[in-house]
A and B are shown apart, each in its own frame.
Chain A
């Protein structure tokens, strides 16, 4: 399960939290969740929970603080999965 696959999984999660006027295609690796995708900051909490469920990991408060962009999230996921091994 590589980076690209993780990106697709994450995209599927994030899609549900996009405001109605932001198309799914706007989700890129460099997208900032709040500033670019206009995701309500309260919903970041829900994205974190969905990510935990999807990848079988647990994200701490500092992980959430560091999760500004899609790439940040993918890096954190990769690191957590690595730590689990």
Chain B
């Protein structure tokens, strides 16, 4: 018998809100975190806008020691440590004592590439034949697992401490991996999440692929338009989201508050076969992933109440909606409520899945479904599949039951997780 897994803590470092209260307020009122960045314009980017968390230096001091802050040039580590530490605290958990790790707590915290500004600084020193001047911290800030390593040390976790990476599916995949480990009885608590660095060295490659919007530099808040007829590419973003997953037994024993239950999930790949490629999803795989997640969760298709989609604001949005519709066998007014977080934060890449899961889970706490941004001009193909009433433009009061959250990534990889309102059985 699988053990039940619940969410007991949330932490967030998003472009439109650092910390749960600020993020919730922005999500509720549709406040965008997307801005114009002169640096991107100066570098000749087509897309000169982005979503990036704003962190005052003084705030960092409450998360890092002054020694850790010396030469810290990995924005993803800053975001991830802040979100991760906040989630731990939100769950009512303490850092492990000085001489004994918490053997029952682990970390699965993903990223795409970490510490790219540090890496750049290091490359310049090395090319300048000055390798000895790198100091001690270039490795720990640029290794992908730097984020789980920093969090592991701060919290004192003694269970599995690792970093997963599956492009834009990373954050959602981490939730599924953590759930599986707790289900299997190998851990009581796993801090799951993901982070993504900010800046031109992360976003430049996407600009070069011409998949970012270049016509909204003067009105950045209208740029991220998932599901819109005028969607013209995703707005690059960054940040981190974090969740404490916990066995129901441990949560009840501690008297922890429970946001929701993680009922199940699935990850798969389209194998870059059929219409699937390095950059485009194989629709058959997407549908299988959704259906396998439902089977894993023991949920029927009709029970899905709300969807938080991947929906990046590219021409693929309509295809994603068709995949949801076919996978669930539902359309029109029978389609679940659907929203996307990206209209307000952009596409936070490796951090997208976890930031969006945090938004998804806040809906349980508040008894609402967040509204969608910039899609009053729905894409006609989407309108053919889903009744417009199911795509709220403003946050609506609705107590969510089953929520499906999916993320898809380069490499034709998919992840879908199924949450449920927590019920004592």
Contacts and interface: CB of A to CB of B under 8 A. Distances in A.
A46 B66 contact: no
Interface in A9-45: 16-18, 20, 42-43, 45
B135 A46 contact: yes
Contacts of B67: 16-18, 43
B70 interface: yes
A5 B396 CA distance: 68
B58 interface: no
A16 B70 CA distance: 9
A46 B70 CA distance: 10
Contacts of A20: 65
B136 A42 contact: yes
Contacts of B70: 16, 46
Contacts of B65: 20
Contacts of B66: 16
Contacts of A49: 132-133, 135
Interface string B45-73: 00000000000000000000111001000
A56 to B, nearest CB: 15
A18 B65 CA distance: 10
Interface in B110-163: 132-133, 135-137
B156 to A, nearest CB: 14
Could you say which of B70, B132, B135, B136 has the most chain A C-beta atoms within 10 Å of its C-beta?
Answer: B136
A42 B133 CA distance: 14
By size class, the interface of chain B is under 10
Nearest to B135: A46
Contacts of A42: 136
Interface string B61-87: 000011100100000000000000000
B133 to A, nearest CB: 6
**Interface of B (DSSP majority class):** loop
A42 B70 CA distance: 14
Nearest to A60: B132
Nearest to A50: B135
A60 B133 CA distance: 12
Interface in A41-74: 42-43, 45-46, 49
A52 to B, nearest CB: 9
A22 B67 CA distance: 13
A28 to B, nearest CB: 20
A45 B132 CA distance: 9
B150 to A, nearest CB: 14
A16 B135 CA distance: 14
- Most B CB atoms within 10 A — which of A16, A18, A20, A46? A46
B68 to A, nearest CB: 10
A46 B135 CA distance: 5
Nearest to B140: A42
Contacts of B137: 46
B128 to A, nearest CB: 15
A45 B134 CA distance: 9
Contacts of B132: 49
Contacts of A43: 67, 136
Nearest to A43: B136
Interface in B169-204: none
Contacts of A18: 67
A54 to B, nearest CB: 14
A41 B67 CA distance: 14
B118 to A, nearest CB: 14
Contacts of B135: 45-46, 49
Interface of B: 65-67, 70, 132-133, 135-137
Given A46-B135, A46-B136, 11 more contacts: A16-B67, A16-B70, A18-B67, A20-B65, A43-B67, A45-B135, A45-B136, A46-B70, A46-B137, A49-B132, A49-B135
Interface of A: 16-18, 20, 42-43, 45-46, 49
10 nearest A-B residue pairs (beta carbon) = A42-B136, A45-B136, A46-B135, A46-B136, A49-B135, A43-B136, A17-B67, A45-B135, A20-B65, A16-B67
12 contacts: A16-B66, A16-B67, A16-B70, A17-B67, A20-B65, A43-B67, A43-B136, A45-B135, A45-B136, A46-B135, A46-B137, A49-B135
